[in-house]
Amino acid sequence: MNRIFCISAGQLIVKKTDNKISRRNRYLNYGLLSLATILKQEGWNPVQIHGHFESPSITLQKCISLGFNYSSLPLLISVPSFYAISWLNEFIELVKESNPKVKIILGGRWVIGNRKDLMKKAVPKADIVVAGIADSIITQIIRSDSSCHPINLSIKSNQINQYPSLDYSLLVERHLYQPSIEVARGCGMGCSFCQEKDEKLLPLKAPQVLIEEIKSTIIRDELTEMTPYFEASMFVPNGKWVDEFQLLRNKYNLEFKWRAEGRVDAINSKHIKKLAQTGLKVLDLGLESASLQQLTRMSKTKNPEKYLFRASDLIKNAYVHNINIKVNILLSAGENEETISETLDWLEKHREYIKGVSVGPVIVFGWSSNTKEYIKELARYGASISHSPALGITHLNLSDEIDYEKSIMISKEISRQFMGAEDYFYLKSFSYFSRDYRYEDFLADISSEKSDYSFNNALTITNRLLNVMLG
């Protein structure tokens, strides 16, 4: 069978602590699935496979079992992270041994950036490197690098929706994934650490299109309930959008829970009640810090007092309407005992309203030529380079007081202060764990290995954070 294999590169390196729980994450590469969907619309026969944390040889065997060695079409590989490059090179080596004539086309917007030359150097056996968003050019790329032609060309490239409705039938083991549905692109809010700080925010996907996509995506079975993640760098629904979405949800008698991520100062608290009625059950909020100084340094806001007031109001209102809040905290350049204590105090005051907390130090991603100015900016606040665990990844000492290792310890301790194992599992299974991974499996994994988890397994509050900071 002549088909296009679309591969989401896996990882040999785990971003956070390497343990069984971390490797249970099943992240969906919805950007690649968008391309696969477009290719199918244009008459090709694509299939998508994720490498995740499996060895490259296992991923290749999956390809071979689906007819890879009989295909003359190019192989598409998406590189979602710099952590994937070592896996990628090993995978390509195996692919070339198995099918020497295959052409390998590499993409990955946030990794490649504007440096196709550096990506080609980092992955020398890739035949073609494509930068940027490829939705509008993917069929051209396939045609220009293949003597084969699609079954039909009834749908032209310029007819493709701004956000293609994802075709989950193209995804191998699709029943194990929690769906991701892209509802908006861009942000443009200027936060210093964000890759989309200068990307213009585009309008939300129309409710009618979104509802149709949900209807075709969600399956009902004996596994964990499907709960879509509405993917947007900045989710900013207005009243009209919320009302129309709710109207259509009721019209088709749809009952589903969903999740989204947003800024604490971008989602209008007055919409929370109606959003809850549409099924919004988990909201990830990028608070980042409750230190006035750190919020200013991050360019998160020009008015940190107002920012924190709005955050408090939003979180409390969400709690009233049974929306679970996960707060994201970013330890950034210049952190010290005082700034972290400010954030801790704020979290403590809002403990009852928060389902979970995710904390991590700022990490610099990108080619050195593209990140040197940002690193200089962070150095103004006391940060310095600690080490680079892999190409394109720079770990930092946040200040003279908090080096990289200490920032990791503090991050985990803050998470443990505000999140137990049960809440951690709930949040992960809502969006990231495989749908056949049960709570009893989770507990068995915890019991089977000794690891430094970012949740409190004992479900008790400890004073270890204070000891870490003072010790």
Query: Domains in the chain, start-ordered, CATH in brackets?
Result: 4-159 (3.40.50.280), 178-362+398-470 (3.20.20.70)
The pLDDT score that the predictor gives to residue 136 is 83
> Residue 125 corresponds to which tokens in the numbers above?
């056996």
CA distance 380 to 277: 46
The pLDDT score that the predictor gives to residue 141 is 86
The pLDDT score that the predictor gives to residue 423 is 97
The pLDDT score that the predictor gives to residue 463 is 44
Task: Report the candidate in 293, 300, 291 with the shortest Cα–Cα distance to residue 197.
Answer: 300
Return the residue matching tokens 């202060």. 417
380: left (phi > 0), else alpha (psi -120 to 50), else beta?
Answer: alpha
CA distance 12 to 257: 33
The pLDDT score that the predictor gives to residue 144 is 75
The pLDDT score that the predictor gives to residue 148 is 45
Angle between helical axes of 421-431 and 439-448 (0-180°, round to 10): 120
Alpha helix segments (H runs only) across 107-259: 109-112, 116-122, 138-144, 207-217, 239-251
> Residue 406 corresponds to which tokens in the numbers above?
């200490």
The pLDDT score that the predictor gives to residue 459 is 41
Alpha carbon separation from 427 to 51, 315, 452 (Å, rounded): 23, 16, 19
User: Is 346 within 8 Å of 285 (Cβ atoms)?
Assistant: no
The pLDDT score that the predictor gives to residue 462 is 41
> Residue 218 corresponds to which tokens in the numbers above?
């969600």
Amino acid at position 197, single letter: K
CA distance 230 to 207: 12
Residues of the chain with pLDDT under 50: 147-161, 459-464
Residue 173 has a CB neighbour count (10 Å cut-off) of 13
The pLDDT score that the predictor gives to residue 250 is 95
Amino acid at position 69, single letter: N
